[in-house]
Chain A
């Protein structure tokens, strides 16, 4: 995060960003992949724009990797078309692969070779050799922070270092698009935040379009400009997290308020008080919270502006002379949005997939 915050303004001014350029670099239309009777990817319409970080989110087996393989020309679509930088990956896979850096899920390296040698091999396969290749290798090693260990054998690397080497490997060809498959899976929390920082940095600094496929919704949510929610081969929602929250979260916005009457006998009926606030659909008491405070949960009406309602609730609490003990707007997590989207897609009874931790709405 700090990396992004401290980037010089000059670079931001030159403007590769989600708003700056929005010609799409990846487009799929009705992209479909069937394995026998199993539909792995079902009529996918996807659009990733230049300079944008796009999150393709969904549980394991949703068809994310299959989609990526089709974008790289490593798997042939059953129907539909894909265009990467205007090229057809099925017809011209080499030209596509020349410009797309791909970090596969659980990428491996040749253990007996050093990190640098591994990168040199990739550079050579991309037609880079000699001085330009060495310069480029030094550059990407520096970017991912592996310069110190570059000349150690890759088998001595930790999981997190291997992943960073994977980033360097995907970057060495100087790609215009980066495709990352589960970049943060099986990485420790500090490593994850380093990797997310790196992703932000690459999108901002190099103007790369980045496509991230992941089942770790909450981690990836923080770096993505837009996300697509992928479920059983179908894209069931697409947009910014806020847009998705509005689209799928209607009627689920909540505010939790804890108030204390402080022994004042003239304390009004809190339930009635809150019930009168415009935009509040329902008021329910939660268990008589701690330290004698009453905890209430307000459910917002469809289309109510969360911020306006919150302001009004606060005003009423102060007016009535109540002491505020707790106040929280329960923002929808991406995981909750995902569940709602799946429900709406008509798949009641599906298992929540790999992101199966109980949905923490507050947060």
Chain B
């Protein structure tokens, strides 16, 4: 069949390839300077057409709908009690009513799934399909592959988060007639940014798994394993270890108690979910004033009841945000180095 085609091309005299025979007339492409952009563009198109994008969008939409519904009820009753509650708009994201937790809590719980879903087969998928050798033999840098994939994943995740947040805010504005103040909008924007960075950590970690493990299933299991351990058992583990390192017996002194609590806090801050939930609580709630789990009663009584301005809130949690960024950078760097050193062949 091919021989026939070749013949046809020869005999009809059209000679479509005559122009490319001489090296000078070869397609005059130059190696693209931003290979990662081309990779990212293709990955983005893939993601937007994939089933997992719509499933995750639906999942998060469901979370948003449910929590908004319960939050609206909570806000109605709360605003009757105190009409001068600061930042009523943000209560939409902050308040929950049994049995549902607040929007920001549920989102914090679920968004790691986004990162894992868009990262766990980033490299192993190409390897399994046999497209990796073809891809890396194109005139791009090898890191363009991993950078482009990370950028595309982050863009999709950002898109999902922005859409869902915008829908919740829209419902709040329309149904409850609450108009956000400028500071509310800034806090929400910062929260979105921190959330994207947090998902970035999970995306980077999942990408790392996809580089380290040949099989996508293994990578998925490891990433989900970390998610469950870090989310559900981190505080338990922190308490246990703190109990050993800084014991607080039944007849403990105040110093011992403080030491134990500080140790527990420090240890639990090693887990990304703790960092994230601490940071987002402070960012969204102007009346929250500490991330510490240990507060003396005297401190509570003597505190002046007031709210924090946005810069004060940020001052309180910048260390958590830096922590999340650092973890993201470390995960990505390990994935990067591993990928650069890996053999291409399957």
Contact = CB atoms under 8 A, between A and B. Distances in A.
A6 B5 CA distance: 12
B276 to A, nearest CB: 33
B140 to A, nearest CB: 6
B283 to A, nearest CB: 39
A122 B1 CA distance: 26
A174 B19 CA distance: 11
B130 A94 contact: no
A3 B27 contact: no
B10 interface: yes
Contact of A198 (B2, B11, B133): B2
Interface in A160-188: 164, 166, 169, 173-174, 176
A97 B137 contact: yes
Contacts of A83: none
A78 interface: no
Contacts of B1: 145, 194
Given A139-B17, A194-B1, A126 B10 contact: no
Interface residues of B, number: 43
Interface residues of A, number: 57
A121 B343 contact: no
B139 A98 contact: yes
Contacts of A173: 27, 29, 138-139
A194 B139 contact: no
Interface in B24-50: 26-32, 35, 38-39, 42, 46, 49
B131 A69 contact: no
Interface in A60-80: 65, 69, 72, 74-75
Given A126-B138, A197-B3, A108 B131 contact: yes
Interface in A108-144: 108-112, 121-128, 132-133, 136, 138-139, 142-144
A205 B10 CA distance: 10
Nearest to B9: A142
A75 B139 contact: no
Contacts of B39: 125
A7 B345 CA distance: 37
A266 interface: no
A320 interface: no
Given A8-B10, A107-B130, A205 B49 contact: no
A128 B29 contact: yes
B256 to A, nearest CB: 54
B16 interface: yes
A108 B343 CA distance: 17
A70 B71 CA distance: 61
Nearest to B37: A124
A72 B3 contact: no
Contacts of B344: 69, 74-75
A360 B138 CA distance: 41
B137 A3 contact: no
A65 B137 CA distance: 13
B134 A127 contact: no
A3 B3 contact: yes
B159 to A, nearest CB: 20
A222 interface: no
Interface in B1-21: 1-3, 5-7, 9-11, 16-17, 20-21
Contacts of A110: 46, 129, 131
Nearest to A132: B27
B177 interface: no
B10 A7 contact: yes
A201 interface: yes
Most buried by A among B3, B10, B344: B3
Contacts of A198: 2, 6
A98 B1 CA distance: 30
B137 A145 contact: no
Interface of A: 1-3, 6-8, 65, 69, 72, 74-75, 94-95, 97-98, 100, 102, 104-112, 121-128, 132-133, 136, 138-139, 142-145, 164, 166, 169, 173-174, 176, 194-195, 197-198, 201, 205-207
Given A97-B139, A106-B130, A127-B139, 9 more contacts: A94-B140, A97-B137, A102-B137, A124-B38, A142-B9, A143-B9, A164-B2, A197-B2, A198-B2
20 contacts: A75-B344, A94-B141, A98-B139, A110-B129, A124-B38, A125-B135, A125-B140, A126-B27, A126-B31, A127-B30, A139-B17, A143-B5, A164-B2, A169-B134, A173-B139, A174-B27, A174-B29, A197-B6, A205-B17, A206-B21
Of all A-B residue pairs in the complex, the 10 with the closest CB atoms, nearest first, are A108-B130, A127-B29, A174-B26, A104-B133, A125-B138, A98-B139, A128-B29, A194-B2, A102-B137, A145-B5
